Amino acid sequence: MEFLEELKWRGLVKDVTDEEGLKERFKTKVTAYCGIDPTADSLHIGHLQQILLMQRYQKAGHKVIALCGGATGTIGDPRPTTERKLITLEEVAHNVECIKGQVGKFVDFTDPEKGILLNNIDWLGKLTLLEFLRDYGKHFNIANMCAKDTIAKRLESGISFTEFTYTILQAADWLHLYQNYNCEIQFGGSDQWGNLVSGSDLIRKVCGSEAKVFGITSPLITKSDGSKFGKSEGGNIWLDPNKTTAYEFYQFWVNVSDTEIVHLLKRLSMKTPEEIMELEKSVQEEAHLRKAQIALAEELTLVVHGEEGLNKAKRITETLFKGNIMDLSADEIREGLKGAVNTVIEDNTNILDALVAANITKSKGEARKLIQQGAVTVNGEKISDIDFALTKEAAIDHDFTIVKKGKKKYFLFNF
């Protein structure tokens, strides 16, 4: 399967400026770039598709440029609804440094012939206002700019000149990369189509019609209801281990629905089409085993959190659902139960009162019945005594106690 055909099979192609030309260009080594928006100090799983696309280009023998928007990040790509809040130059510079390490887990920057990481502050930061207007602005038609989706949606509610000119700056990036690095391809999410077209147009106007460049977008990852993928109830699933633990990251993928997992495997897994089709078969025939979800969870967690993080995530998962929670360390328990209901109680609190305080039961009578049925465990031990008390002395690390109701529902108590 040729490179472009595989990208299409994986659902990674939406719009292409010249599909036949690009198919032919892929037959020999070419340089392609993808921009990374440093508006936060960590990327999240919504960015994974494009980062992994860089890896795919490298595996296919092409050179990639990961471009951090140290300059454009201070302005922000126009949002469909409201103006972005500007962040400082210092914040953007900090974010760029944080993101470099995250991208480096996926993309090989050890050989400049395979990949390099650049920051557009290095050239856009030196651009004067007159140069911007004469060398770039002169090539853009206001009517055409206003017709682009992101800008058209904002014309009624209002858009600042700052955000209005963002597409010119991104086009200037591609022109710079084309002239200095022979970068012939820009790829990005489908929301970047207007910017890609602006860039290819600028290159032809400045360098002549013989300049051949190609823009290619991929559909944004969305859930089955059409909402943007990459969010959980608690917020983003980040690639920074300090923001999202290995266990949380692993569990996110394990809990992907059967209706979504196959298209996510195609887009985010580096497994071969044959391997993915085999996992698709398992979804159809033995969905309860969640082989596809576990395969994606293991693959992505290994890259983002390393072997130690993956092993810890699997150990916590196995113990919480099938083993004795006391086999875990205190830190692992905290990580595994980060989202559990947490209730503060006094030392020596009766178990019945504790169950009611945490809304595990609605009354002491219901709590008593639950205990008598053997459905309550405290720190891994089943409780049968209704006079049992939760004490700080017996707490894990003298800090917290775990109560489990039934087989899977955990609750934390702090003193």
Q: What is the CA radius of gyration of the chain?
A: 26
Residue 107: how many CB atoms within 10 A of its CB?
A: 22
Please write the tens of the pLDDT for every residue from 341-354. Answer: 999 999 999 999 99
Please write the tens of the pLDDT for every residue from 64-104. Answer: 999 999 999 998 888 777 787 888 889 999 999 999 999 99
- What rounded mean pLDDT belongs to the chain? 93
DSSP 3-state of 56 = helix
Q: Which residues pair with 32 in a beta bridge?
A: 64, 185
The pLDDT of residue 227 is: 63
- CB proximity list for 347: less than 8 A, separation 6 or greater: 391, 392, 393, 415
The pLDDT of residue 233 is: 40
Please write the tens of the pLDDT for every residue from 286-340. Answer: 999 999 999 999 999 999 999 999 999 999 999 998 888 999 999 999 999 988 9
Is residue 187's pLDDT more than 80? yes
Please write the tens of the pLDDT for every residue from 362-387. Answer: 999 999 999 999 999 999 999 999 99
Triad 68, 70, 73: Cα angle to 5°: 95
Of 135 and 154, more confident: 135
The pLDDT of residue 249 is: 96
The pLDDT of residue 150 is: 79
Mean pLDDT of 245-251: 96
115 phi/psi in degrees, rounded to 5:
-170, 145
Mean pLDDT of 18-23: 97
Please write the tens of the pLDDT for every residue from 35-62. Answer: 999 989 999 998 999 999 999 999 999 9
- Give the pTM: 0.90
Is residue 225's pLDDT more than 80? no
Is residue 115's pLDDT more than 60? yes
Mean pLDDT of 246-265: 96
Is residue 149's pLDDT more than 60? yes
The pLDDT of residue 82 is: 79
229-232: long-range pairs with CB below 8 Å, 24+: 229/45, 229/46, 230/44, 230/45, 230/46, 230/47, 231/46
Mean pLDDT of 208-224: 89
Q: In which band, very low, low, confident or very high, does the pLDDT at 231 lie, cut at 50, 70 and 90? A: very low
Mean pLDDT of 149-168: 88
The H or E element containing residue 201 is helix 193-207
Percent of the chain with pLDDT over 90: 85
30-39, 132-141, 229-238: range with lowest mean pLDDT: 229-238
Q: In which band, very low, low, confident or very high, does the pLDDT at 226 lie, cut at 50, 70 and 90? A: low
